[in-house]
Chain A
Amino acid sequence: MKLWSRWLNLLDSEMDPRPLALVRIALPLCVIADLLRLFQLGLMDDVFTPFSQGGLSKFQSPHWVAADWFGGHASMIMLALTLVCMILVSLGTWMRPAILLGVLAYAQLGHLYPPGDRAIDRLIRTALLILLFSQADAAFSLRRVRAVSIPAWPAWFLRYFLVLVYLSAGMAKLIQQPGWLSLTADPPLLRILVDPMAARLDPVFWTQFPELFRWAGFGTIAYELCSPLLLTRHAHRFAIIGLFMHLGIAVTMSLGMFSWGVLACYPLFLAPFILRRLDRSGG
């Protein structure tokens, strides 16, 4: 009973709405920037068109159903709907319907072009679905009614979700490739960061420094396996390591919005630093 009371108390706790509002703003911005980049490269028609109509991917998911409802314009309608909904979510206007519709449309784009719908897209959609149950529009939004405090459980749930992601990533590394902990084997992190298809480092030059990658690999594993610390009151200090890890990934790899999408959730961990700064600047 004591445990249940603690659970109830946790769910009753309240928080400053600003960190969650920053997540609400940043997550859709990643999606918008990612889609605009495709537009800039002139790839919209190639990516979001079925193969039979001249698109890139031969394979569509059986859950691509928008074409049954909207015919030949389905992909462009889904694209427009995703963009409009993400803008609305970011502005904090009609947040809940915009999240629901936006995630559904964004998922349809993923079903239409599965090769380009990566883990980060799924992470962002899941995070947005968690925000659906929050009052993330209570600050930094166009909504008229603002709040000083909001229920904290959606923020806790999102933090828990990210911990699951990190734990899964760390354990998958260790179980499938124990070389991550080896003091002698070729460091897996070196192989990842010099793979020209996804990374930017020169394979010949950086192979001279295996120890650098071995220790960076240990650090990655340690951060991922210790990620439950992100649920403690020390989260803000621990998350600084994650911040640098993701910035490192952004610099050394060409993964598009991966790092930015994950970092969009970091205001929840870094809240004490962010709130102090916002209070000082009157934000």
Chain B
Amino acid sequence: MRNLKAIGILFAAILLFWLGMPGVAFLSPNHLKSPAKQSKFRARWGEPWTTISIASAELNRFRLPIARALGGLQPVFRVSQAWHLYRDGPRTIRRMEIVVDGERVYRTNDPTLDWRSGTFRNRRIRPMAESLTIKPRAGNRKGLGQHIVTAVREDFSAASTIQIRSVWSKRGKKESTHHWMSAEAPTWALKDHTP
């Protein structure tokens, strides 16, 4: 029994390692697969990073089919994860702005324009705000857009126009509106705009 338990725990430890293999599990299956991609990476980062990255990518392509076979129960508990956490931040500074009847009421991380900032900064809502800001016509934009329209109509009952803007700039440079959504009374239907 003692040995059986020890084998079981060892298997679980190896399984955990295999499913989220450090340095490997976060890579896409096609990472540095083609010689062209490898040359491009080598030109930018040189050695030893290129050799290490290619070896990691090869190991991942070997790991994946086994991980898929062994990790069948993961979705039940929703525990599958590559654990890469924060690898890098964006070079472009992006913010979401909400404008009601021409007046800004919310701007990401601006203490002077903080209408419902608790909502938009909440960790569960932030990814939606982020994708809406990064991508014009982001696949998941409508839900948050509708939520904003409803909230504005609750808090600003006389409002007739709403804009949800994605404002971009480089650090310390002048910013501009990259894309936006708008809604107008009486229909309040959301429309997408790109300059």
Contacts and interface: CB of A to CB of B under 8 A. Distances in A.
Interface of A: 4, 7-8, 11-12, 34, 37-38, 41, 43, 46-47, 51, 54-59, 61, 63, 103-104, 106-107, 110-111, 113, 115-119, 121-123, 125-126, 129, 153, 157, 160-161, 164-165, 167-173, 175-179, 186, 188-200, 203-204, 207, 254-258
Interface in B59-103: 75-91, 93-96
Contacts of B20: 164-165, 168
A191 B23 CA distance: 22
A9 to B, nearest CB: 10
Contacts of A37: 122
B140 interface: yes
B36 to A, nearest CB: 18
Interface residues of B, number: 69
Given A43-B125, A123-B81, A197-B95, A57 B140 contact: yes
A264 to B, nearest CB: 16
A172 B139 contact: no
Contacts of A119: 81, 83, 85
B93 A203 contact: yes
A106 B74 CA distance: 13
Contacts of B122: 37-38, 41, 43, 256
A124 to B, nearest CB: 10
A56 B95 contact: no
Contact of A175 (B2, B56, B76): B56
A115 B94 contact: no
A173 B23 CA distance: 9
B77 A197 contact: no
Contacts of B90: 191, 195
Contact of B6 (A7, A46, A57, A113): A7
Contacts of A103: 77
Interface of B: 2-3, 5-6, 9-10, 12-13, 16-17, 20-27, 45, 49, 52-53, 56, 75-91, 93-96, 108-109, 118-119, 121-131, 133, 139-140, 142-144, 146-147, 171-172
A256 B84 contact: no
5 contacts: A34-B123, A107-B76, A116-B123, A164-B16, A195-B94
A39 to B, nearest CB: 11
B93 A195 contact: yes
A113 to B, nearest CB: 7
A222 B26 CA distance: 20
A178 B44 CA distance: 10
B94 A197 contact: yes
B140 A58 contact: yes
A43 B124 contact: yes
B9 A11 contact: yes
A254 B87 contact: no
A176 B22 contact: no
Contact of B119 (A43, A111, A117, A171): A43
B123 A169 contact: no
Contacts of B128: 56-57, 115-116
A182 to B, nearest CB: 10
Given A164-B20, A171-B22, A196-B109, A55 B86 contact: no
Contacts of A204: 171-172
B88 A188 contact: yes
Nearest to B109: A196
Contacts of B130: 197-198
